[in-house]
Structure formats: structure tokens, C-alpha cells
Structure 1
Amino acid sequence: MPDALLVPETPDNDAQPFTRREIAQQPVTLRETQALLSANKAAIEAFVGPLLARPDLRVILTGAGTSAFIGECLAPWLSRELGRTVEAIATTDIVSGPTLHLRREAPTLLVSFGRSGSSPESIAAADLVDAHVDEAFHLVITCNAEGALGQRSGENIHVVVLPEATHDRGFAMTSSFSAMMLAALSILGGIDRLVPRIEAIAAAVQGVISSVEPLIADLAGRGFKRVVYLGSGPFKGLAREAALKLMELSDGALVTAFDTALGFRHGPKTIINAETLAVVFVSNDPLTRLYDLDIAQELRSDGRSGAVVVISAQPRDNAQVVIADMAGAVDADLLFPFIVPAQLFGLHVSLALGLAPDRPNASGTVNRVVQGVRIHAPGA
């Protein structure tokens, strides 16, 4: 690995003391998150259980930016697991058009994700749900007990504050993303059901962190100008998060895109040229994976891209990144190890560009907690 891309461990390194450590701590924070949920299982299930037992309950997963993409990853999976429609609707969409997204007669559980829990849209979205829905309930999953979401209370509200270490101090959300996603998967999918899977998930994340860096460092040094992430089902949302992570940490220097394996051919494939890196997340679902492998093979056969990287849990897939011991895992569990290469790639590209990953946007026009948002009253 080139010395210029090594990340010093010293805490007084001003360039990136937090981002690297927050990526690396995910095996620990995932285990701690599940332990916290298990310890508070009775209270959590006393709130959520009766709601999920209602056939008329509408479930909305919400947040802004990376927090919204948690919902996009989990909504299709949870819809199947719960036998009901689970929707991912960003707070930014709810706030700008509440009458398009909220139904007064539909009892609604709003699951709010927030690293800081203080984004203006997060607070406004919760208030709008209360105002526009006759029976509104709130499950708050946050990394910050002191944030506005973390401070909410009431009979229709349950707040889950994750371990303090998940409150990422770096600009880009990494361990906060994976911890909040795990919390929602566990709470809505069954805390006891996730307990026997958490060790395999955490071990897989650690395995990627320990093994993938030489590949990532090489890719970051190749000077790609465009990067596209492709994924199907739950991995469409993950592809969107991966694209955002690179955009954030490169301060917009690289053009990033995301799509599904099948959707990519319908126009977006024009992004491919000799300066494009294409990354394909391969599903473990027997049908879905065939489409993922088809697009990976097509991109390789076309010979137009700068590189094609396949991330898979199946050793037979000719993948550059193979997630060890997860060949039999469900796709929801693969979300956690699959995102690590994208997080590390963003970090290494940031360093290669001479940026400070903890604050890559030196102009200050983009902030860790969003600023400049004016909340307008509906009908004003």
C-alpha cells in the first residue's frame, strides 16, 4: 500500500482522526447496538409489538441524506418480512410536500433516523405527521441523546439512543449509518431473531476491514473521474449511500451515480468510459444474483470501463471482494459488510486528493449537521 495512503493511528493527526476510526469501530458498535437492544427488549417490544399487530398500520422509515438511505435499504426487506408495505420516505420529501405523503385516516408509525437528531427537517417531519395523521406514533432511533429527536417524549413516542460511539464526529456518516440500520432491522424484524446473526455480521465486517485495504488503496490511486455503484433490492439503497459517501469525502471531485442492475442499461450506462469505476453488489437471492452477475459480466465484456469491482458473498462469483462465511446469509445481513469497501474507498480518495476526510468541504457550504434550512408552514 502506498505510504501516502496510509492512515496514521495517532489521535493528533489533524487530517482525519475520526473518520478512519469510525469505519474501523463498526464490528464493536454493531455488537454494542444489538446488546443495547437486547437489554431494553421489554420496553421496545411493549411499544412496537402492539403497533405491528395492527393490520391497518402504515410504517414509514424516514431521515435525510444517509439517514434516509437506511430506509431505502430496509424498506423492501422489511415489507416482505412483516407482510405489510414498509415505505421509505425522506424527511425532506415529507416537509416539502406533506399532503403528498401523509394520510390522515391511516394510523402511522414514523421511524425516524438521526445521527445528531437535530436536523431541521427531522423535527419538522415528526411535527407534520402529528398534525396530518389522526393516529401517529414515533419510533426514534438516534445516536445523540441530547439532540432534538432524542429529547422527544410522550405516550406515542419511543426513543432508542444508540451507544455514544455511534455518534460519528467525522463529516460523513459511517458507524452511525450501520448502527441505526442494525437497530431498525432488529427492532422491526425481531430482536431475538437477530441475536444469533449479530456475531456473523460483525465478524464479516471485521474481515472486510482487515483484508480489503490493499485493493482500495490501489483503486484510489488510479485517478478515476466517475464511479457508479449498482445493486438490486436492498442494495439499491446501499448503492445510493455508497455514491453519496464518495461524493461527500471527495468534496464533489468525482462524479458518482447509482442504479439497479437492470435499470442501469436504460440510459444511465452512458456514464461508463475509461475513467469510470463500476462497483456491483451481488445479492444472495438466487434469482436476483443472476441479474447482478449479468451486468457485471456485460461491463467486463464491453471493455469500456476503467475497472469493474464485484462485491459478493459467494466465492464462485469471480469477485474482487468476497465476504467470508456469509454465503448463506440473507441480503439484509450483507448490507453491513458490503458498505465497508465503499466507506474505505471514499476515505482513501479523500486522502489522495489532499483533503481532510473529517471536513472535506473546506468552503463550509456543506456541514455535518445541515444548516440554512427554513421550515415553512403548510399553506403559508
Structure 2
Amino acid sequence: MLETFVAPADDASGEESWTRREILQQPATLRATQAMLMATRDAIDAFVAPLLAQRDLRIMLCGAGTSAFIGECLAPWLTATLGRPVEAVATTDIVGAPHLWLDAARPTLMVSFGRSGSSPESITAVDLADARLASVHHLVITCNAEGALSKRTATNVHVVQLPEATHDRAFAMTSSFSAMMLAALSIFTGIDTMDERVEAIGESVAAIIAEADGTAATLAARDFERVVYLGSGVFQGLAREAALKLLELTDGAIPTAFDSALGFRHGPKTIVTPRTLVVVFVSNDPLTRLYDLDIIAELRADGNAAAVLAITTQDDAGESLRVAGAAGFVDADLLFPYIVPAQLFGLHCSLRLGRTPDRPNASGTVNRVVQGVRIHALAA
């Protein structure tokens, strides 16, 4: 169980923190996750394939916090890939207003992401779907074999149990985020197909870890007062996750924001000050990339931001962190190396501010597995 683990104390470089270990282990955990999927693909396909044969099937990608942002990253890509709507709906939204999100008339596949698989909203969202939907199936993707969701044994449930190493001990989700995202991407785009891509993805993650660690430390030392992450398409969800990582690991000391490259001009751009860092995740899609490069050029020409950093695969974005060898990647595969610089930056900012990365919230008001949620009964 989680409570039996005691995270090592941080030293000045963060070398001993679970947070750092779990960021650095992602090449290995991504490969281990795909290997597990290959070993169990017959059972997964037997559950998923008949559901996907239903053309009116509603697919919902569900989770809370970082787990919800997995859905936000993948929903646009899977919608295009599967040729049918795939929706990202946070469990916190479902629990708060089930009448708005659960459609009893439509057969539904609810994909539940959960590092612990025991958050109150995750459990309640599944219970609500079972109670309110005439036809619902649950694909649970979880890192914790002892979690409540992993214990579900009903005939309408299939649990994908990820390798134990993905069950992050630290407060902030890092390798659990990337592993659950890879699992869903693999399942819905073809486990065999992903098996041909995962080695290159793992290599790209390893390469950006080596490249980004020093850059992240240097940026953290500049003591930015605000940080903005921008991304288009699948990267808007990633920008939201990147912003949350910094907020979590600094215990809210550095305010963050996220947006799309085009949306940022419509008001949110006013957040930029001379002590603001703006990070842009640059798409490999030729058209989308042009809009990403436009906002980078505009922000630099404005001269208002302290720094504008591109996370990219090519050499046409000026000051940047480049993911070598990934110029041919589809954007969905870039999600995995692109999140690493944001994770490392959050870690180094946490250390710079004197926080303990594995337990950044010293007051105890924010917890690794959410607490204090009261589940209210539905009105009759």
C-alpha cells in the first residue's frame, strides 16, 4: 500500500526525491506499460472491440486533476483517429452535475484514469453511470492494484493494471500521467501499432531528460513571478497539465496559466509581465505549427515577457528546447517528451523555493489522494 513507502529526503539537487526518480524513470515505465499491454492485448481487445463496433457508442475519458488532463490531451486526437466523437469529461464535473453529463439514451464507454483509483469522485462517477445509464461499460486504467476501481469485478468492467513502478509515490503525478496516457493511446489506436512506436518515444523522452534538466535549473534560478504554457490541438491539454505541475510543486508560489496559441491573444495575453516566462509546445502538424510560431514571434517582438521558450522538434523557433529525432513524430507521440521539461522545471522551482518536492504543501490542505469531498445524494 502507498502508506508503507517513505520518500527519501531531498538534498539540494533533488537527486533523492521520489519526484525526480519518477520523472527520470519515464523511458522505462513507458516501455514497461506497452509490454504489459502487449501481454494482455487479447483480453483488452475482447472487451473493447465489440463496444467500438457500436457506431452510436459514446466514449468518455474521465479522471480528476492530472488524470482528467490525460483525456484533454487525447480526446481531439482519438476523435480524429476513430472517426467518432471522444469526449474528455472530468469526474469532478460528472459528480457535481450528473444530469448535464450522463445521457441515459446513449450506450457509453467510460474510460476512468486513476493513479490511486480511490479518489471519491472517480468512484462516484462510476457509480452514477451504473445507476443512470441503461448501457454502460467501464475501462479502468490505473496504477494501483489496491485501489477501489481496480477491485471492480462486474461484467461491464475491464481493469488495465499498469506496472507497479507507475504508481508514483510523490505528490505530483509524473510517470503515472505518461503511462496512463500511453495505455489509452495504445488501446484505442492499436496496441500492435503502438508497439512499433514506443521505442522511439522512449528514446525521445530519455534524450529530452538529458537536454532539459540543466535548462530547467537555469530557468528556475531566474525567479519568474508568473509562467504561462501554450499549446495547440493535443498540446492545449498538455499546457494545462504543465501549468498544474508548477502550481503543485511550488505550493502555489508561482501563479500559472495555460491557453492555445490562437486563444491567448483574446484577453489572456494580458497576464504577461517583464517577469513572466511563456513556454510554447510547438506542433509537428505543418498548419498548426505556423500558428505556434506566429505567437512565439509576436511575444518576442512585444518585448514584454522575460523569456519565451519553444519546446519543439525543429530549429525554426529561436530559443528552444529541441526534441532530437522527433521531427517525424505525430503530435500524439510528442506528448510524452514534451511534458518532461515542464515536470523538471516544476521540480527545480520547488527546490529553488525551499519546498520539499514530494510533499510541497506543508499545510496539509492539499493531499496526494484528495480528501474532504462530501458526496451528496441525488434528489429523488
Map of 2:328 onto structure 1: 328
The alpha-carbon deviation at position 315 of structure 1 amounts to 2.6
Task: For 1:38-77, list aligned pairs within 5 A.
Answer: 38-77=38-77
Count of residue correspondences = 370
Q: Supply the distance in 1 between the matched residues of 2:358 and 2:128 (Cα, whole angstroms).
A: 33
Partner Cα separation in structure 2 for residue 214 and residue 368 of structure 1? 28
Paired amino acid for 2:259: D
Tell me the SS of whatever aligns to 1:310. strand
1:191 matched residue in structure 2: 191
Write the distance in 1 (CA, Å) between the matches of 2:131 and 2:272. 46
1:131-280 matches, cutoff 5 A: 131-280=131-280
Structure 1 alignment gaps of length 5 or more: 10-16
1:250/1:360 contact within 8 Å kept:
yes
Amino acid paired to 1:7: G
Tell me whether 151-160 or 62-71 shows the greater mean CA deviation.
151-160
Structure 1, residues 20-63: CA drift from partner, whole Å, max 9, x if none? 00000000000000000000010000000111111010000000
Looking at structure 2, the residues matched to 127 and 340 of structure 1 have their Cα atoms a distance apart, in angstroms, of 34
Does structure 1 conserve the Cα–Cα contact (< 8 Å) formed by 2:23 and 2:340?
Answer: yes
Q: Secondary structure at the residue paired with 2:216? A: helix
CA distance in 2, matches of 1:336, 1:73: 11
The answer to whether the Cα contact below 8 Å between 1:60 and 1:110 also exists between their aligned partners in 2 is yes
For 2:217 and 2:102, how far apart are their aligned partners in 1?
45
Once the 2 structures are TM-superposed, how far is the Cα of residue 189 of structure 1 from its aligned partner?
Answer: 1.2
SS at match of 1:212: helix
Q: CA deviation at 1:319?
A: 4.5
Q: TM-score, normalised by structure 2?
A: 0.96
Instruction: Give the deviation of 1:8 after TM superposition.
Output: 3.0
Task: Write out per-residue CA displacement over residues 323-361 of structure 1, whole angstroms, 9 at most, x where no aligned residue.
Answer: 111101100000000000000000000000000000000
Deviation of residue 145 (structure 1)?
Answer: 0.7
1:180-227 CA-to-partner distances (Å, cap 9, x unmatched) read 000000011110110110001000000011111121111000010100
1:150 match: secondary structure:
helix
2:124 maps to what in 1?
A: 124
C-alpha distance in structure 2 between counterparts of 1:315 and 1:189, whole Å: 30
Task: Return the letter of the residue paired with 2:318.
Answer: N
Distance 2:105 2:60 in 1: 15
> Given that residues 311 and 319 in structure 1 are in contact (C-alpha distance below 8 angstroms), is that contact kept between their aligned partners in structure 2?
no
Please state whether the residue corresponding to 1:140 is helix, strand or coil. Answer: strand
CA distance in 2, matches of 1:319, 1:198: 28
AA of the residue aligned to 1:373: V
Contact 2:15 2:21 in 1 (8 A): no
**Contact 2:224/2:275 (CA < 8 Å) preserved in 1?**
yes
Match of 2:113 in 1: 113
Identity, in percent, stands at: 68
In 1, the alpha carbon distance for the partners of 2:149 and 2:365 equals: 24
The Cα shift of 1:5 comes to 5.6
Closer, same or farther: CA 5–331 of 1 in aligned 2, 3 Å? farther
Mapped pair 1:342 → 2:342: yes
Secondary structure of 1:357's aligned partner: coil
The one-letter amino acid of 2:372's match is G
Would the aligned equivalents of 2:129 and 2:136 in 1 still touch at CA under 8 Å? yes
Alignment partner of 1:369 is 2:349? no
Q: Please, what TM-score do these two structures have when normalized by structure 1?
A: 0.96
Report if the CA contact (8 A) 1:109-1:138 is conserved. yes
Report the equivalent of 2:83.
83
- Structure 1 match to 2:96: 96
SS at match of 2:316: helix
Amino acid at match of 1:111: V
Corresponding residue number in structure 2 for 1:304: 304
| Residues 204 and 326, structure 2, Cα contact 8 Å, conserved in 1 | yes
Per-residue deviation, 1:132: 1.3
Give the secondary structure class of the aligned counterpart of 2:149. coil
Q: What residue identity is the alignment partner of 1:146?
A: E
Distance 2:104 2:133 in 1: 4
In 2, distance between residues paired with 1:319 and 1:224? Answer: 17
Secondary structure of the 2:227 match is: strand
- CA RMSD in angstroms comes to 0.9
2:13 match? 6
* 353-362 vs 149-158, which moves further: 149-158
Mapping for residues 285-304 of structure 1, pairs under 5 Å: 285-304=285-304
Match in the other structure for 1:12? none
The AA in structure 2 aligned to 1:38 is M
